[in-house]
């Protein structure tokens, strides 16, 4: 007789073997078996409280929820024709991002106008979706000083949001022009090589960083802030940050390092191409950055376009830096190979040398 409840058991086939009793050990790394008292002493005696300064590092990372406005893709002068004094003509609509960056003054870098911190974003903001590195910039002034332990230490203080907005939107405008004016040179090079063949030397591959404006989400009681976010020019990949050409004069820095010297000469050549192809109206000044990535350009423009009271581009667009181009610029092997013209006085403002840029220029710099 089959008893209710026991039927399932009675009908089952051969059961699966019971699990092995032998415990599975966690995988641990190989290491010496014995540690001497001396070795242990050197490890153990360090296990004490961190110093005040070290503890302070816990509080140096700032996290910002931000609306991020990416700089549009600017490649050709025609892309600039649609821009105006409105910063929104340079940026795509906002995305959400979280930014984290180190505000420790010891890790901060600064020029004469902007301070820069290194950090990360989520999501990644630029070309490589796996690269979260960012460089966060704000304009600043140097305070007379804070009292720390009896001595007065000067500090970099960010300008308020209104001032940041004015300066950082101009930075974005200059970056867009930097992109276009550098691409213009590579387009010229490509066309020339198609007709005349390859040069006997390599052409440095350089570009301006991608960038975004980031406005901090309002935090109760705190002032809203604005930042310029750029691709990080990482020293491990790009080498030490360096200035290739200043804005005051179109004279490249002399480098001892042969590759830097080559890059500086190449960038001087790009200025000559830009000056020519825009019919003596504009070129990039203040070339700086790493081996391939550039940032913080000044756009140097002919003072004739500055209507009274309307300074074009950033404050570094100094008239003398533009006006002395023909005296300052010394042609190099790049200029010679690519047959750049130096008969500056014969460049007719409306002739073909403009490559059709003259009209676009006057539209896009109009106010």
Ligand X SMILES: Nc1ncnc2c1ncn2[C@@H]1O[C@H](COP(=O)(O)OP(=O)(O)O)[C@@H](O)[C@H]1O
Kindly list the residues in this chain that would bind Mg ion in the complex (CB under 5 A).
111, 296
Q: Which region among 74-82, 90-98, 264-272, 283-291 touches Zn ion (by CB under 5 A)?
A: 264-272
Q: How far is the CB of 211 from ligand X (least distance, A)?
A: 8
**Residue 242 or 333: which CB sits closer to Mg ion?**
242
| 331 near Zn ion, rule: CB under 5 A | yes
Q: Is residue 335 within the footprint of Zn ion (CB under 5 A)?
A: yes
Binding ligand X by CB under 6 A: which of 112, 151, 223, 346? Answer: 112
Name the one range near Zn ion by CB under 5 A: 6-14, 62-70, 131-139, 335-343: 335-343
Torsion of CA 261, 131, 179, 71, to 10 degrees: -150
* 133, interface contact from ligand X, Mg ion, Zn ion, none, CB < 5-8 Å by kind: none
CB-neighbour burial class of residue 32 (10 A; exposed 0-12, middle 13-18, buried 19+):
exposed
Residues in 190-229 at the binding interface with ligand X, rule: CB under 6 A: 209
Given candidates 50, 109, 157, 237, which one binds ligand X under the rule CB under 6 A?
A: 109
In the list ligand X, Mg ion, Zn ion, none, the entry touching 232 (Cβ below 5 to 8 angstroms by class) is ligand X
Closest CA to 188 of 275, 285, 90: 275
Per CB under 6 A, the list member of 79, 120, 225, 230 interacting with ligand X is 230
Q: Which residue has the tokens 């991020």?
A: 68
Residues 238-277 that bind ligand X (CB under 6 A): 241
Q: CA-based diameter of the chain, in Å?
A: 118
Q: How far is the CB of 274 from Zn ion (least distance, A)?
A: 11
Q: Which of 68, 114, 212, 227 binds ligand X (CB under 6 A)?
A: 114
Q: Considering CB distances under 5 to 8 angstroms, the limit depending on partner class, which of ligand X, Zn ion, Mg ion, none binds residue 229?
A: none
Q: Where on the chain is the footprint of ligand X (CB under 6 A)?
A: 109-114, 116, 135, 137, 209, 230-233, 241, 295-296
Give the interface with Zn ion as residue ranges (CB under 5 A): 272, 331, 335, 340
């Amino acid at each position: 007789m089959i008893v209710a409840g026991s039927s399932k058991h009675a009908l089952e086939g051969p059961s699966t073997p019971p699990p092995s009793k032998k415990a599975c050990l966690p995988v641990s790394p190989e290491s010496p078996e014995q540690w001497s008292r001396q070795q242990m002493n050197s490890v153990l005696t360090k296990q004490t409280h961190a110093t005040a300064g070290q503890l302070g590092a816990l509080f140096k990372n700032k996290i910002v929820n931000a609306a991020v406005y990416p700089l549009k893709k600017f490649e050709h002068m025609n892309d600039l024709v649609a821009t105006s004094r409105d910063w929104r003509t340079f940026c795509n609509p906002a995305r959400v991002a979280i930014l984290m960056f180190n505000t420790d003054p010891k890790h901060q870098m600064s020029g004469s106008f902007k301070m820069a911190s290194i950090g990360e974003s989520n999501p990644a903001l630029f070309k490589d979706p796996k690269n979260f590195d960012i460089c966060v910039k704000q304009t600043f002034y140097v305070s007379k000083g804070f009292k720390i332990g009896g001595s007065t230490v000067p500090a970099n203080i960010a300008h308020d949001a209104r001032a940041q907005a004015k300066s950082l939107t101009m930075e974005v405008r200059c970056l867009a022009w930097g992109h276009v004016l550098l691409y213009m040179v590579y387009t010229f090079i490509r066309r020339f090589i198609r007709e005349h063949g390859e040069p006997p030397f390599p052409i440095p591959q350089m570009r301006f960083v991608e960038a975004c404006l980031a406005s901090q989400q309002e935090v109760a009681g705190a002032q809203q802030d604005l930042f310029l976010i750029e691709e990080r020019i990482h020293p491990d990949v790009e080498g030490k940050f360096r200035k290739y050409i200043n804005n005051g004069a179109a004279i490249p820095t002399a480098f001892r390092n042969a590759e830097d010297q080559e890059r500086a000469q190449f960038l001087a050549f790009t200025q000559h191409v830009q000056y020519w192809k825009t019919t003596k109206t504009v070129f990039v000044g203040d070339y700086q950055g790493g081996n391939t990535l550039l940032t913080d350009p000044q756009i140097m423009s002919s003072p004739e376009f500055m209507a009274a009271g309307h300074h074009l581009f950033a404050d570094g667009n100094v008239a003398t830096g533009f006006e002395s181009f023909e005296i300052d610029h010394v042609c190099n092997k790049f200029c010679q190979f690519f047959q750049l013209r130096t008969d500056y006085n014969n460049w007719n403002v409306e002739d073909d040398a403009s490559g059709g840029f003259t009209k676009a220029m006057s539209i896009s710099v109009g106010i």
